[in-house]
């Protein structure tokens, strides 16, 4: 700290040492992270710009309400909070790895780095599940006057505004036999899809409880592009962080740092990993909370 420095009468700028009391690599890691913060910031801000330019934007609690293994229950925020805690905990284990490195404790570094890697992989797995669920999970959506099933992709968004009774009845009359059979099948799982295909459209519509149906219009297309783009870019950072940590783990195992006399490399990897956690805090805010 500056106060300590003056107390020691250190002349930081007289040459021969780092005026920032920091090795070159670590300083450059900081500047890289700062520039990366601007990259992520620009992405998130452009998302904000588009969102503010729209009259309607999908409610995140409607979009992200699934948890693996819990079927169609409406559970907003649950899965993403698990992901957030995984990343916070892996950040804590990284702090412990860096601290072990300061003490030259090889076994400690290996242990905590391994836990950090486990956390990173767990987070990536969660994200893979979430993407898979959003892309492959199709929802009945009002498109050009009839109901069609679409998933959340970069070109389709099933999370528009709710369609009301009169318009819904009309849309159902315009929809194909197959769509209606699928809709009925969702609520009457005991009847096979093939059986339902044999019924007339009027019969199928009669089996639907129109007042209880939550069918939406198409939502803003930009939603998917921003969501997959930004969480994907963040996921890529997590992925490269895991690779960096694995490399650090192998180097620690092979006594590379012990021979070097210090574990400063772990500190730099740690900075990168904390940054990944930091970015997630903002991604979590922008996509899931507000």
Partner 1 sequence: MEHQAISSEITFEHHTDDATFRKKVVRTTILLTVITIIELILGVGIYLIHKGPDPNAMLVLFFKGLVCILTLAKAYYIVSVFMHLGDEIRNMIMTIVVPLLLFIWFIIAFIVDGNSYKNLRNTYDKHFQETTTPKPHHGAEKAPVAEPQPGKQ
User: Is the CB of 92 or the CB of 205 nearer to partner 1?
Assistant: 92
**Nearest distance from residue 203's CB to partner 1, in Å?**
25
Binder among 94, 97, 184, 230 for partner 1 (CB under 8 A): 94
Q: Helices 222-253 and 106-136 sit at what angle, rounded to 10 degrees?
A: 160
User: Is the CB of 91 or the CB of 196 nearer to partner 1?
Assistant: 91
| Residue 79 buriedness (CB in 10 A; 0-12 / 13-18 / 19+) | buried
Residues 271-290 touching partner 1, rule: CB under 8 A, are: 271, 274-275, 277-278, 281-282, 284-285, 288-290
233-to-44, 142, 147, 225, 227 alpha-carbon distances in Å: 11, 31, 33, 12, 10
256 near partner 1, rule: CB under 8 A: no
Query: Binding marks (x or -) toward partner 1, 125..144, rule CB under 8 A?
Result: -----------------xxx
**Nearest distance from residue 20's CB to partner 1, in Å?**
4
User: Is the CB of 196 or the CB of 277 nearer to partner 1?
Assistant: 277
Binder among 32, 36, 96, 229 for partner 1 (CB under 8 A): 96
Structure tokens at 271: 């900075």
According to DSSP, residue 212 is labeled: G
Residues 158-187 touching partner 1, rule: CB under 8 A, are: 161, 163-167, 170
Residues 97-116 touching partner 1, rule: CB under 8 A, are: 99
Separation between Cα atoms, residue 107 and residue 101, nearest integer Å: 9
Q: What is the DSSP string of 172-210?
A: HHHS-HHHHHHHHHHH-TTS-HHHHHTS-HHHHHHHS-G
State the distance between the two ends of the chain, measured CA to CA, in whole angstroms. 38
Binder among 53, 176, 192, 253 for partner 1 (CB under 8 A): 53
56 near partner 1, rule: CB under 8 A: yes
Residues 63-92 touching partner 1, rule: CB under 8 A, are: 76-77, 81, 84-85, 88-89, 91-92
On whether the CB atoms of residues 151 and 134 are closer than 8 A, the answer is yes
Residues 224-253 touching partner 1, rule: CB under 8 A, are: none
| Radius of gyration of the chain measured on its C-alpha atoms | 26
**Nearest distance from residue 212's CB to partner 1, in Å?**
12
User: Is the CB of 128 or the CB of 289 nearer to partner 1?
Assistant: 289
Listed as own residue / partner, the contacts of 162-166 with beta carbons closer than 8 Å and 24 or more positions apart are 162/214, 162/215, 162/216, 162/217, 163/215, 163/216, 163/217, 165/210, 165/211
**Nearest distance from residue 179's CB to partner 1, in Å?**
17
Binder among 9, 14, 15, 55 for partner 1 (CB under 8 A): 55
264 near partner 1, rule: CB under 8 A: yes
Helix count and strand count (H, E) for the chain: 12, 3
CA 132 to chain centre: 12
User: Is the CB of 14 or the CB of 190 nearer to partner 1?
Assistant: 14
User: Is the CB of 78 or the CB of 110 nearer to partner 1?
Assistant: 78
Element holding 43 (H helix, E strand): helix 24-52
Instruction: Tell me which residue has tokens 């620690």.
Output: 252
203 near partner 1, rule: CB under 8 A: no
């Amino acid at each position: 700290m500056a106060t300590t420095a003056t107390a020691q009468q250190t002349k930081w700028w007289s040459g021969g040492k780092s005026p920032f009391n920091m090795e070159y690599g670590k300083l450059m890691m900081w500047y890289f992270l700062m520039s990366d913060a601007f990259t992520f910031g620009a992405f998130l801000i452009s998302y904000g710009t588009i969102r503010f330019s729209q009259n309607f934007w999908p409610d995140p609690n409607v979009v992200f309400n699934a948890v693996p293994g819990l079927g169609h229950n409406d559970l907003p925020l649950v899965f993403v909070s698990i992901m957030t805690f995984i990343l916070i905990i892996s950040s804590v284990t990284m702090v412990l790895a860096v601290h072990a490195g300061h003490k030259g404790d090889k076994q400690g570094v290996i242990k905590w780095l391994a836990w950090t890697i486990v956390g990173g992989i767990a987070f990536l797995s969660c994200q893979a599940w979430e993407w898979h669920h959003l892309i492959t999970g199709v929802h009945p959506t009002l498109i050009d006057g009839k109901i069609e099933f679409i998933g959340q992709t970069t070109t389709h968004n099933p999370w528009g505004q709710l369609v009301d009774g009169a318009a819904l009845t009309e849309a159902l009359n315009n929809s194909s036999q197959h769509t209606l059979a699928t809709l009925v099948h969702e609520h009457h799982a005991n009847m096979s899809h093939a059986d339902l295909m044999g019924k007339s459209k009027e019969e199928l519509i009669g089996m639907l409880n129109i007042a209880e149906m939550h069918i939406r219009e198409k939502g803003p297309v930009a939603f998917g592009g921003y969501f997959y783009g930004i969480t994907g870019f963040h996921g890529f950072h997590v992925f490269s962080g895991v690779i960096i940590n694995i490399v650090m783990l192998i180097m620690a195992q092979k006594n590379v740092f012990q021979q070097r006399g210090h574990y400063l490399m772990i500190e730099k990897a740690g900075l990168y990993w904390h940054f990944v956690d930091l970015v997630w805090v903002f991604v979590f805010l922008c996509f899931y909370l507000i």
